[in-house]
Amino acid sequence: DTGVSQDPRHKITKRGQNVTFRCDPISEHNRLYWYRQTLGQGPEFLTYFQNEAQLEKSRLLSDRFSAERPKGSFSTLEIQRTEQGDSAMYLCASSPLTSGLNTEAFFGQGTRLTVV
Amino acid sequence: AQTVTQSQPEMSVQEAETVTLSCTYDTSESDYYLFWYKQPPSRQMILVIRQEAYKQQNATENRFSVNFQKAAKSFSLKISDSQLGDAAMYFCAYSWGAQKLVFGQGTRLTINP
């Protein structure tokens, strides 16, 4: 297992198009997170899965955004009708389910989205 | 709502010297975790060091140590014997309930040879 994998690494799309990103977490990690990072800022939480259940969604996640994690393995993040403001780095992270509060998250390299 | 503030957008240090990055946070919880993550240019974010709020002893990891002041809600990172490979964006982050991370705005650290 080489860590959290994200695909594609870069995506350029025209405004109004739909895009989909994929994240493959570390095997056996029950928790999966999506974050968005704009240039010069810290990552902002978008949504969180525990196995296949989506347990929390940020208010940043508008109706144009949808995320899934079928079968509790990989996850996809889809953005419909992209806008220039969606341009950002989309980061995926995973962590194991533990009995304590240990929340060490392992990050992928991200998908950089540019909307033109 | 929990917030994390990093008041130093940029810091620089001479190679082999020591540098301290500042972080403050706001929370009403008593049990939580604090983290420092490193994000090198065009590379993935990696965990540098972690502190459990219920532990009074400051965490250390080789050249990296923290100064955790719970009452002041302060969590600074000290890097000793700075190396060129330490150059990166450093993010302070907070987590509670084994869920999402709340990040600060980041500090860009430059190491001068």
3-state secondary structure of A3: coil
**pLDDT tens-digit readout, A55-68:** 999 988 889 999 99
Residue B98, judged by CB atoms within 10 A of its CB (0-12, 13-18, 19+), counts as middle
Are the beta carbons of B73 and B13 closer than 8 angstroms?
no
pLDDT of residue A100: 57
CA closest to A43 among chain B residues = B103
Contact present, A51 and A63 (Cβ < 8 Å):
no
**Residue with more model confidence, A69 or A2:** A69
Indicate if the pLDDT at residue A1 is higher than 80.
Answer: no
Put simply, the answer to whether B45 touches A42 (Cβ < 8 Å) is no
- Look at residue A2 and tell me whether its pLDDT is greater than 80: no
Q: Does position A72 have pLDDT exceeding 90, yes or no?
A: no
Using an 8 Å CB-CB cutoff, list chain A residues near B7: none
Res. A102 pLDDT band, cuts 50 70 90: low
- The list of chain B residues with pLDDT below 70 reads 98
Mutation site for A-interface testing, chosen from B92, B101, B102 by largest number of A Cβ within 10 Å: B101
Query: Which residues are paired to B101 by β-bridges?
Result: B95
